[in-house]
Structure 1
Amino acid sequence: MADITRQQIGSLLAKQGILIAFVAFLIGFTIANPKFLTPDNVLSVIRSSAILGVMALGVTFVVISGNLDLSVGSMMSFSTIVVLDLHDKIGPALAIPAMFAMTLALGALIGFLVGYLKLNSLIVTLGMLSAIHGLTLTYSGGKNMDIVDKEGTWFSVFGQGTALGLPIPILMFIGVAALLGLILSRTSFGRKVYAVGGNGTAATFSGIPRARTVFMCYLISAACVATAGLIQASRSLGSQNTVGQGLELEVLAAVILGGASLLGGSGTIFKTVIGVLILGFIQNGLLLIGLQFYVQFIVTWVIIILAVWLDIAAKRGKLWSPIA
């Protein structure tokens, strides 16, 4: 009986350990600072998490397909710098689609290398991280970007505007999540993504176009990155050329926290949203109790290790390896 109980507890922790830890964090942070769960702070956390969240939604498709995308941070820097630069040159109405087209071209390149040439996604996207960072610095001449006429542009609506009583970034996050959630759970393409990630060889023999599916996943990821870059540029109407540096790890942490497996074949958009919020509230709680912002980097690392451990534990049904 004791063995059965331990197995049940281990299985519960393996499957729901992150949520249990999150609830414990919420209780602890609320006790430490009563302002933690006030409506204003909750809304502020969700708004600040919108950029990371939109990026994580796209990466969810990539991870479910059995691949990785470590280029999203530098790609977000590129899209932000490009749209800010083109804003003053050709106007926001043309700058936005031009930025999306350039970002999608980068996503298409990665999708081609991983999907059609079947190169390792970790190596490709790690290389693209550096390449796109170099491209961003070359494009900007090593300088930061600012919009000249900050008072007379409607471009700020994406990052600073409100509608229906909510900030536009939150509404965009919700809208993208709803759209991608429907695509992943209600369309044949979504079923193909799960099949390719679950067993790529079997999917190919079943007639599923594996290369095209992977290619489209990277296009979706790039489109989400471009949307995040739009929000970032609009929020401050200016940006450093390294604004997205390091975000790729936070994005991956949020996706894995939401239950997507690094082995591919599992995960949902809704759970990714939960993962984003977990990460956002934990980081906010650390600041409210007086810890410096750089402590977040250490906590993010711990969360990634914990999430990967629980992911593997969920696959084998035990927290510890049976070989010990």
Structure 2
Amino acid sequence: MTLNKQDIGRLLAKQGILIAFIVFMIGFALANQRFIAIDNIAGVIRSSAILGVMALGVTFVVIGGNLDLSVGSMMSFSTIVVLDLHDKIGPALAIPAMFALTLCLGAFIGFLVGYLKLNSLIVTLGMLSAIHGLTLTWSGGKNMDIADKAGTWFSVFGQDRIMGIPVPILIFALLAAVLTLLLSKTPFGRKVYAVGGNGQAATFSGIPRARVVFYTYLISAFCVAVAGLLQASRSLGSQNTVGQGLELEVLAAVILGGASLLGGSGTVFKTVIGVLILGFIQNGLLLVGLDFYVQYIVTWAIIILAVWLDVAAKRGRLWSPIA
């Protein structure tokens, strides 16, 4: 069986990022044997869990045809709030209070985008700055630390293990499983795909488009709150800019997983794969001796490649027919 140029183009358009990932993995393994060591693989998955949890929520937003660029600053807010309240009212009350405040931010964004039908890019870009300002106001411009780090059970979420598996990995896996069922096996999940695929047609079909969009942002905010909890519990202290820039990595992971920026396509499972692709590529770059800031350039290049392949998959070829 032979492949012509058109077949190769379709293959690269649909599976190009996976092919590139395999090439990267082989190259990194040859460059440094430690790359394929069990402890390194487990470490990459654990360090990717926080980003992955955030990406799970953003997957719903993107499939629904919108964007969420506020997740990085919202994660900073969640982390600072739970750390601050930990010493004031105790972790048992601080955790639900943080979740409630974070969900309020998600509900506000969902109201603006869903019910007022404002552009999601503009709204979440504005909220990125607004929430960052809110975080600095809450913290007084200072970083947060738990006073009694040795005497709190709060560290269980970010530092403990269950049957030898780090708790962050278990939380990431459990949340991914639950959201997979929600997206693929429930009427709500089908409505998210319908709204993202053709919002006007979904409305004419009786689907409450505004409500669906609103709930996707609530799901995103919930996942951000979980990520903030993991971040705060892992370090028991944090800078007030801990989530700055993560929105770019989250979006890269979601798009790498095959979710379309045009909406209507994508899965939670593929987002998990996208998160791992990004994590292993960044880890490989460090192991071969490149400085950490090179990751930003590589992340940008990966996003461009992923968007190009996404558009190419839609038109069935890598290059524009009028080019």
TM range (shorter): over 0.9
CA distance in 2 between partners of 1:196 and 1:267 (Å): 13
2:99 is aligned with 1:74: no
CA distance in 2 between partners of 1:38 and 1:173 (Å): 22
**2:4 match: secondary structure:** helix
Tell me the CA shift for residue 235 of structure 1.
Answer: 0.2
Percent identity of equivalent pairs? 83
> Which deviations, in whole Å up to 9, do the C-alpha atoms of 1:123-143 show, x marking residues without a partner?
000000000000000000000
Structure-1 residue corresponding to 2:276: 277
Structure-2 residue corresponding to 1:178: 177
CA distance in 2 between partners of 1:136 and 1:148 (Å): 20
Tell me the CA shift for residue 88 of structure 1.
Answer: 0.1
CA distance in 2 between partners of 1:195 and 1:299 (Å): 33
Partner amino acid, structure 2, of 1:153: T
**1:49 match: secondary structure:** helix
2:152 is aligned with 1:149: no
CA distance in 1 between partners of 2:34 and 2:304 (Å): 29
Structure-1 residue corresponding to 2:37: 38
**What is the 5 A alignment of 1:208-219?**
208-219=207-218
Structure-2 residue corresponding to 1:19: 18
CA distance in 2 between partners of 1:195 and 1:175 (Å): 26
**What is the 5 A alignment of 1:1-324?**
5-324=4-323
Tell me the CA shift for residue 99 of structure 1.
Answer: 0.1
Moved beyond 6 Å, runs of 4+: none
**2:23 match: secondary structure:** helix
**1:315 match: secondary structure:** helix
> Which deviations, in whole Å up to 9, do the C-alpha atoms of 1:146-182 show, x marking residues without a partner?
0000000000000000002200000000000000000
Partner amino acid, structure 2, of 1:226: A
**1:68 match: secondary structure:** coil
CA distance in 2 between partners of 1:140 and 1:163 (Å): 33
**2:78 match: secondary structure:** helix
Let me know the Cα RMSD of the aligned residues. 0.9
Partner amino acid, structure 2, of 1:283: Q
Partner amino acid, structure 2, of 1:11: R
CA distance in 2 between partners of 1:273 and 1:66 (Å): 19
CA distance in 1 between partners of 2:121 and 2:6 (Å): 34
Partner amino acid, structure 1, of 2:122: I
Partner amino acid, structure 2, of 1:173: F
CA distance in 1 between partners of 2:59 and 2:39 (Å): 29
Partner amino acid, structure 1, of 2:114: G
Partner amino acid, structure 2, of 1:189: F
Tell me the CA shift for residue 89 of structure 1.
Answer: 0.2
Structure 1, gaps ≥5 residues long: none
CA distance in 2 between partners of 1:70 and 1:261 (Å): 16
**1:115 match: secondary structure:** helix
CA distance in 1 between partners of 2:130 and 2:16 (Å): 37
CA distance in 2 between partners of 1:200 and 1:179 (Å): 25
> Which deviations, in whole Å up to 9, do the C-alpha atoms of 1:84-116 show, x marking residues without a partner?
000000000000000000000000000000000
